Structure 1
Amino acid sequence: MKSVLDMIIIRRHTKCFLHEIRRTLIAERIPQYKERSALLPGGLNTPFPIVVEPDIDLELLFKSHEQLQENLQRRHWIVDVKKVEHDYHLWKKLNKQIAEATARRSQLEELHQWGEQLYALNAKFLVACLRLPAPLHGAVPEITGRKLLYEYGSQRKSSLTMRSWRDLAEVTSLDAAPFSSFAFGEFAQLEYTLLNYFNKSLDAYNMQFCSTVNVVKSFVIEAFGYHFSDIKNVFNIVAEHDDDENSVELLHLFGTSTPLGIVSPFIRTNFTSDALPYYVYSIGRNYNPHSGQSSCIELLAFSNEHSQHLLVDDHQKAGDERAKAFEDILKKSITNCVNITHPKDINLMSNSVDFIYIQLATIITSFYQRLNVPLRVCLSPSYELLSYESLRLTIEVYLPSQIDYVRVGSVSLIDDYLARRLMIKHNSDNKSYVAMVHARVADVSQLAKCVLEASQTIGRGIKLPSVLSMR
């Protein structure tokens, strides 16, 4: 009996050992792990192909030392700004020397040396600039917490007769699927009812539905501020090609209804002027190592006019009169969302990205207000913003079982941050980059919990809001 147990133990250890060897061999065969950047690969033999040509406005980026430093400090980023600025001046000097020597066709030996210095500098300096965050919008709160703009409904307190969504829903977790759960009955049906509600509501505004992608390449996630080898924040997939056993590619799973999924179809797109503004949305799954999977609805708006409120100049300070005027208009428009009775009440034809932002925030808030759930709309502080966001409006709905509000939607100003990295332009001008607004219209999986708890009645089961029960 003992010998049989020993054989089983040895077999298990051998299996684990072989598995670890295979993982090590695959990791060694992925040269991407040794590369600094997928968005701006260096060298002729780089493992990453050159898919896009990022174009960062370095002059604007380094126009104001104070604004750059303030942006990083408010986001809680630790960057040696003086070192980056020193590299910028060296980069400008080398480019000027090379241009002058090339024009005169002289100083061939120095030209070779300058070229080598510039090549080495590009691998560090330009990559560092690509990863710097977007400039802040003037309306981003300077306070430490979120700034409340709008609140609707009263919080329903939890009681002994009130059940949480876990008690009301038939949700099962399986060991075979650690990042997901399976819902049955009314809870599962409610998710589809909510998806249908938002889908029809968006269609009423003639927004285009887009079939997006689940998996993206490394250069795409780097444009959003992620790193291709950071397994804590993304699901990495190792793809081995059948025709070449030594060819291994690193791919990344996010889901169809994510900012990465909805932006990907437009990489290297050149919009015509009469096509803008352009609105597109997607419905699908979102995959995240921290929160698992969820059903979401994403929206993307394109414009050929850039924001007038970005803090890129010493003369533009956070909280100035223009920023306050923008915040006042935003607050007033969201507050009046209850008066929207028809899509014609909203103007989506303007190319002003600031106006588009206000209109989308108003439309999406009205969707939630019709659900008759306690909600609040807040401006997120700078330290909550992702690197590609200049401004974010967060929509939260009250969840009684948590005695707190949970985030279910957001509207983010991106301006041309992603467009410059992913070559999304308008007209034939190579320097005309589109401005974008991204919105998470709804995290339906999270919202369903809030609606379920808010809709329960004593002795009469679940009574859904009228806009859902009619569907």
Structure 2
Amino acid sequence: MSLIRRISHISANIRQFSSALYITGDKASSNFVILLPHIDFEERMENKAELEENIKLRQKHISLDKYWKHWGFYKHLLEKMEILNATKTVINEHISELIKDAEKNKEEIEKLQLHAKQMKLHYKNLKEFSYPVEEVAALNALSIPNILDKRTPDTEKEIIYNCLEKPSEKARSHFEIATSSNLLYYLNPTFLVLQNDAAFFEHSLINYFYDSLLNYSYVPTVNSSFARSIIVEGCCTDYLNPKEVFTVFENDTKYSTAKLHFVGNSSLYSFMAYFAKFSIQPNYFPIKFFTSGKQYHPLEENNTERTLFNLNQYSTVDVFSITKNNEADTEAVFQDLIKIIKTLYDSLGFHYQLAYLPANRLRNYETLRLSIQMFSSHLQDYVEVGNVSLCGDYLSKRLLVTYNEEKVRKYPNIIYGSVINVQKVLGCVLEYNDLSRK
């Protein structure tokens, strides 16, 4: 297959929309390029068997052989362009020498000038054709998920901690209890207001977690409730999918990368928006931030049932830690956070458990996910009321969070989690208290 035909074949498979995270040179004039993510595809492919097992456990439909073929073709084009550029430079240098005696070397100079012109045109055409190949190769590489922590279970969640006994009886629905007790005003999953004792519960619970995290040397932050498409895509969310994120600003072009998204100040996006393309002084590590506020996202599933477990907005307390790219430092912060979570939840006096979720329930950026789960006595099942994710350097590489150590650029590890979701905790507590009154 000819070079141009191969390029055209790959170009035909490109998605209609443009990536907000990886913008090729041909689109740079119409898009403001904030950063170019670090791609470590070749490094990841050094242990192909492990990567294939990772993809299999996560149940992702990714063909590494196909991705590697596209990547190899892109690298081949780069090599050809380098050769053309180097050849053109040599020709120009030779012309500069010959031009010293222009009359004598007139014929040879004209031949070389024609050759240089052809080389320049060939380079220009090849570069234009290379952009779609580059986009496919880069986006393929960026779609590959994070490595898996050795503690991540293969198929079933692994419970690592249990507090108190699980209620055995079935309770009324928390929504029925809340409505009859005038604890909330509900219009739809987007518009819900807690009132009376429920509002006091929300205020008290957030203050309790807020004050406790302050005592554990976490620093409070005030984040933006909005994020640009580049941040959303950098956090492994499809910014064009209305089922994944709210979009509040659309410009004239349907597939524009300059969109604004409503995510809430207590979210991963709001933290990453602050640290994107940020170089951190090594002596600041470990960084331990937290915030309290709102998270906004589309419904997890089409569910007409009135419930606090499936809303468009939640009140949460989120933590965000950054450590050096050192396993021991990251693990120390993670284990310390688990101890804090146990202390805070144990004191609430309700049954809950901590569990590591299996690989197929992790987001692309997660290497390990600790799930904080309370029991719904009505559903007779566990509900995730909080979580903590180990992200390694995956997000740092995508959004260029860096630090320099011994004149070497490095990418720090990130730990992120919503340590409590107030509405979901309230739902479980209402059902638990309903059993206590029987």
Do they fold alike, i.e. is TM over 0.5? Answer: yes
- Residues 29-428 of structure 1 correspond to what in structure 2 (within 5 A)? 34-42=16-24, 43-44=26-27, 47-103=30-86, 105-106=89-90, 108=119, 111-142=123-154, 144-158=155-169, 164=174, 166-168=176-178, 169=181, 170-174=183-187, 178-239=189-250, 249-290=258-299, 291-307=311-327, 352-427=329-404
Residue by residue, what CA displacement relative to the aligned partner does 1:209-258 show, whole Å, maximum 9, x if unpaired? Answer: 011111111111111112221111111112569xxxxx995211111111
The one-letter amino acid paired with 2:414 is M
The structural deviation recorded for 1:386 is 0.4
Contact 1:164 1:453 in 2 (8 A): yes
The structural deviation recorded for 1:37 is 0.4
Residue by residue, what CA displacement relative to the aligned partner does 1:40-73 show, whole Å, maximum 9, x if unpaired? Answer: 1232466531111211112212212222222211
Moved more, 181-190 or 397-406: 397-406
Q: Cα 1:274–1:124, aligned 2, differ >3 Å: closer, same or farther?
A: same
Moved more, 287-296 or 381-390: 287-296
For residues 458 and 382 of structure 1, the distance between their equivalents in structure 2, rounded to whole angstroms, comes to: 37
Contact 2:70 2:136 in 1 (8 A): no
SS of 1:305's equivalent? Answer: coil
For residues 159 and 178 of structure 1, the distance between their equivalents in structure 2, rounded to whole angstroms, comes to: 25
What's the Cα RMSD here? Answer: 2.6
Q: Cα 1:249–1:165, aligned 2, differ >3 Å: closer, same or farther?
A: same
Contact 1:133 1:387 in 2 (8 A): yes
SS of 1:135's equivalent? Answer: coil
For residues 131 and 223 of structure 1, the distance between their equivalents in structure 2, rounded to whole angstroms, comes to: 11
Q: Name the % identity.
A: 23
Contact 1:303 1:434 in 2 (8 A): yes
2:419 is aligned to 441
**Structure 2: gaps (5+ residues):** 1-14, 91-115, 300-310
Q: Cα 1:302–1:202, aligned 2, differ >3 Å: closer, same or farther?
A: same
Contact 1:286 1:293 in 2 (8 A): yes
TM-score, with length taken from structure 1 = 0.74
Contact 1:35 1:41 in 2 (8 A): no
Q: Cα 1:430–1:55, aligned 2, differ >3 Å: closer, same or farther?
A: farther
The one-letter amino acid paired with 2:190 is F
1:329 is aligned to none
The one-letter amino acid paired with 2:294 is R
The structural deviation recorded for 1:98 is 3.2
Computing the radius of gyration from Cα coordinates, the structure with the larger value is 2
How many residue pairs get matched? 376
Residue by residue, what CA displacement relative to the aligned partner does 1:259-307 show, whole Å, maximum 9, x if unpaired? Answer: 1122211112211111001100111111121131110111111011244
SS of 1:300's equivalent? Answer: strand
For residues 281 and 140 of structure 2, the distance between their equivalents in structure 1, rounded to whole angstroms, comes to: 32
TM-score, with length taken from structure 2 = 0.79
The structural deviation recorded for 1:156 is 2.3
For residues 135 and 273 of structure 2, the distance between their equivalents in structure 1, rounded to whole angstroms, comes to: 25
2:432 is aligned to 454
Contact 2:248 2:262 in 1 (8 A): yes
